[in-house]
């Protein structure tokens, strides 16, 4: 087993540990030992275990993006179930990941209870990944194999929308889950956090959505 600790810059304190030559059984044991009440995120792909310890900024961005999804689904009257950073494991693939946040929206009626079993359940419809100091590209490979249809990725102070098309993730202007919303709009509301509190931002998003719904093309 080889361990690599990647130290962040002083301004960004997200930490990343990479362990190679890790068996699936060891990965499962480490998950069990770590427990559910933790802030770290685990991902496992091709015998490499990555552990992310998110910074305050990382969690602030994640929290606001989660609120955006909640607000949009409320305003558009879409049912949802949020599963946070729950563990998404596929033992048959020997792969697993813990996203920053995930939601069931289109497939919400296919999920019973509050525990996901990907051997019988569909993957989450929407996943949020926040990249500050470490790329989520490895997790993208896992999400592709799991069949996750949409990812919102925060990178470089902007939000990108990815849709799973023809076996690959493709950057798209608009969300598949919320077609009235573009990545540019979400980025603009997210950037309001530099000067505004969360409630003000969410109220502004609600107003914007209602205006879109009243526009002639959406009537």
Evaluate whether 4 touches 17 at the Cβ level (below 8 Å).
Answer: yes
Confirm whether pTM is higher than 0.85. Answer: yes
The rounded distance, in Å, linking the Cα atoms of 12 and 34 is 24
Residue-level pLDDT at 8: 41
Measured between alpha carbons, how far is residue 191 from residues 22, 86, 129, 151, 196 in Å? 39, 27, 17, 19, 9
Evaluate whether 21 touches 47 at the Cβ level (below 8 Å).
Answer: yes
> Where in the sequence is the domain holding 82, given as residue range(s)?
56-218
pLDDT classification of 142: cutoffs 50, 70, 90: very high
Query: How many folded domains does the chain comprise?
Result: 1
Identify the DSSP state of 135: -
Q: Each residue of 89-130: pLDDT tens digit?
A: 999 999 999 999 999 999 999 997 778 889 899 999 999 999
Measured between alpha carbons, how far is residue 11 from residues 15, 19, 53, 77, 135 in Å? 12, 25, 15, 39, 17
Within-domain flag for 17: no
Within-domain flag for 18: no
The rounded distance, in Å, linking the Cα atoms of 96 and 166 is 22
Residue-level pLDDT at 219: 54
CATH classification of the domain holding 177: 3.90.1570
The answer to which of 4-13, 55-64, 209-218 has the lowest mean pLDDT is: 4-13
Mean pLDDT of the chain: 90
Within-domain flag for 147: yes
pLDDT classification of 140: cutoffs 50, 70, 90: very high
Q: Each residue of 19-30: pLDDT tens digit?
A: 999 999 999 999
pLDDT classification of 12: cutoffs 50, 70, 90: low
Within-domain flag for 77: yes
Q: Angle, to 10 degrees, between the axis of helix 198-214 and the axis of helix 183-191?
A: 150
Within-domain flag for 13: no
Residue-level pLDDT at 132: 81
pLDDT value at 172 more than 80: yes
Within-domain flag for 8: no
Measured between alpha carbons, how far is residue 143 from residues 64, 98, 99, 164 in Å? 22, 10, 9, 9
Burial of 108 (0-12, 13-18, 19+ CB in 10 A): middle
Q: Each residue of 147-167: pLDDT tens digit?
A: 999 999 999 889 999 999 999
Mean pLDDT of 42-48: 94
pLDDT classification of 186: cutoffs 50, 70, 90: very high
Residue-level pLDDT at 218: 60
Within-domain flag for 176: yes
End-to-end CA distance of the chain: 59
Within-domain flag for 85: yes
């Amino acid at each position: 087993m080889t361990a690599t600790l990647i130290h962040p810059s002083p301004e960004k304190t997200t930490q990343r540990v990479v362990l190679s030559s890790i068996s699936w059984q060891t990965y499962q044991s480490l998950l069990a030992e770590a427990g559910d009440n933790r802030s770290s995120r685990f991902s496992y792909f091709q015998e490499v275990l990555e552990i992310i310890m998110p910074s305050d900024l990382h969690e602030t961005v994640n929290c606001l993006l989660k609120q955006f999804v909640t607000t949009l689904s409320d305003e558009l009257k879409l049912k949802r179930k949020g599963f946070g950073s729950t563990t998404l494991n596929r033992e048959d693939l020997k792969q697993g990941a813990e996203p920053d946040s995930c939601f069931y929206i289109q497939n919400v009626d296919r999920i019973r209870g509050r525990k996901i079993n990907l051997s019988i359940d569909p993957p989450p419809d929407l996943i949020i990944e926040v990249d500050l100091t470490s790329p989520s590209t490895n997790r993208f490979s896992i999400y592709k194999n799991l069949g996750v249809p949409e990812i919102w990725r925060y990178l470089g102070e902007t939000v990108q929308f990815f849709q799973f098309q023809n076996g690959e993730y493709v950057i798209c202007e608009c969300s598949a889950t919320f077609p009235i919303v573009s990545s540019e709009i979400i980025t603009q509301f997210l950037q309001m956090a530099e000067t505004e509190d969360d409630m003000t931002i969410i109220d502004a998003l609600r107003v914007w959505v209602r205006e879109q719904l009243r526009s002639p093309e959406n009537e």
